[in-house]
Amino acid sequence: MNKILIILALAMVLVMPIVAATDTGTSVGINVNTQKFAPRIWMCDSRTVTDDKTQNGENGLSLTERKHNYAFEGESIHWNVLVMDKNKIEEISDVVGTIGPTQGAGNDAEVECKRTDGPSEIPSKCNARIDEERLTKFDEKTMAYYDCHFTVETANSMHGEYFITVEAKDSTGLSATMSENEFWFLNPTIGLSVSGDLEFNEVMPGTDAYSQTILVGNDAESGSGVILDMFISGTDFYDPAASGAACPSTNQLALTNFRYYATNGAFASQGKLETDAEGYTAIPYSTDISGAKRIIRWSSTPRGASPSSSVVEQDWNNGNALSPGSEMALTFKLSMPEPCVGDFSDGNIYFWGEAI
């Protein structure tokens, strides 16, 4: 009996497993989340403001004479921008020009910007930075240049004060605007005021007569800041009654018999173009602004311009401009022909204001 038990015990020992390896191992999972990079956008210092192609400004279609923040239907603002998305540039869903009552993202998108080519070296004028890092190399996988051209619409949809900028949006809903938000008064109402009447009573033929001084003012919408360049023109005058008028040889009193003297602050028409010895200026014939002439017109180079300057007659600071609420004073002289008979009231002298 004891002998059998010993044999069984040995058998149990023999069937035990034998460990042969000297190392072991296991695995662990990993979870990587890529940052959803919010777009970056930089203006590349290529901004222009242009006219509406119906009336030329000082330098053709460029509105370099516009010194205040108002714009009218058809005028436009043009930017070049650089957009970046580190996830990939294809993530950018929209680059748009926006307008709205506040600065920053979320305003109404008014115009889609067009992707365009650009230099391989990012121009320093783009000032492309991420924190302290200055970007110098263009990467087509994460960057793109865009051309943005915003045009002012009619007053029905755009009237009043707005912030205007360029916004980049990605497919996840993240967005950014260029730092340079602009502030504009769009489609302000403009108008002229005339205080006083032009009356020449009991004028003796062969003599000069002078009117009371009238005031011509800029009546533009309050807060708009619209500067008006002032013009004048007129027509001949006729006697509306069948009175047998003649002045001197026909029933017409010619506009050439009228002249005016104008003052606006430190400036006056005296000594300027087409003035007589008293400083009175001739009135051009025209029934619209295209044939009118500036009320105060320079006959020499404006102050600050070189002698060969081409801005004679186009100096926007020559005293011919009126700011909102300001007025210039005009006195008219009539050199009555001899002989002359009749009462001449059928005709007009026109005043015009053009926003500059």
SS3 3: helix
Cα 95 to Cα 148: distance, rounded to the nearest angstrom: 8
Read off φ and ψ for residue 266, nearest 5 degrees.
-80, -5
Band of pLDDT at residue 127, cut at 50, 70 and 90? very high
> Which amino acid is residue 65, in one-letter code?
E
> Which amino acid is residue 258, in one-letter code?
F
pLDDT digits (tens, 9 = 90+) for 230-247: 999 999 999 998 889 999
Task: State the pLDDT at residue 161.
Answer: 97
Cα–Cα–Cα angle for 276, 279, 283, nearest 5°?
A: 70
Cα 126 to Cα 105: distance, rounded to the nearest angstrom: 20
Band of pLDDT at residue 20, cut at 50, 70 and 90? low
SS3 337: coil
Cα 95 to Cα 77: distance, rounded to the nearest angstrom: 15
Task: State the pLDDT at residue 223.
Answer: 92
Q: Which secondary structure element, helix H or strand E, spans residue 166, and what is its range?
A: strand 160-170
Q: Are strands 76-84 and 143-151 parallel, antiparallel or unpaired?
A: antiparallel
Task: State the pLDDT at residue 242.
Answer: 87
213 pLDDT more than 90: yes
270 pLDDT more than 50: yes
Task: State the pLDDT at residue 55.
Answer: 58
Q: Which residue has the higher pLDDT, 67 or 61?
A: 67
Cα 228 to Cα 287: distance, rounded to the nearest angstrom: 19
Handedness of CA 320, 323, 324, 330 (dihedral sign): negative
Band of pLDDT at residue 209, cut at 50, 70 and 90? very high
Cα 31 to Cα 6: distance, rounded to the nearest angstrom: 58
Task: State the pLDDT at residue 271.
Answer: 79
Of 15-24, 145-154, 209-218, the poorest mean pLDDT is in 15-24
Cross-strand pairs, 185: 70, 161
Q: What percent of the chain has pLDDT over 90?
A: 74
The mean per-residue pLDDT over the stretch 292-300 comes to: 81
Cα 39 to Cα 87: distance, rounded to the nearest angstrom: 9
Query: In 196-326, where do the E strands start and end?
Result: 208-210, 214-218, 228-234, 258-264, 267-268, 281-282, 293-294, 321-322
Q: Which secondary structure element, helix H or strand E, spans residue 161, and what is its range?
A: strand 160-170
Q: Specify the residue for token string 């924190």.
A: 131
Band of pLDDT at residue 1, cut at 50, 70 and 90? very low
pLDDT digits (tens, 9 = 90+) for 156-206: 999 999 999 999 999 999 999 999 999 999 999 999 999 999 999 999 999
Tokens of 248: 């001197």
Cα 270 to Cα 256: distance, rounded to the nearest angstrom: 18
Cα 321 to Cα 356: distance, rounded to the nearest angstrom: 9
Task: State the pLDDT at residue 119.
Answer: 94
Q: How far is CA 124 from CA 10, 11, 135, 144, 243, in A?
A: 88, 87, 9, 16, 77
45 pLDDT more than 80: no
Tell me the whole-structure pTM to 2 decimals: 0.79
Q: Specify the residue for token string 């050439």.
A: 256
What letter would DSSP give residue 89? G
Q: Specify the residue for token string 């990993």.
A: 30
Cα 220 to Cα 229: distance, rounded to the nearest angstrom: 12
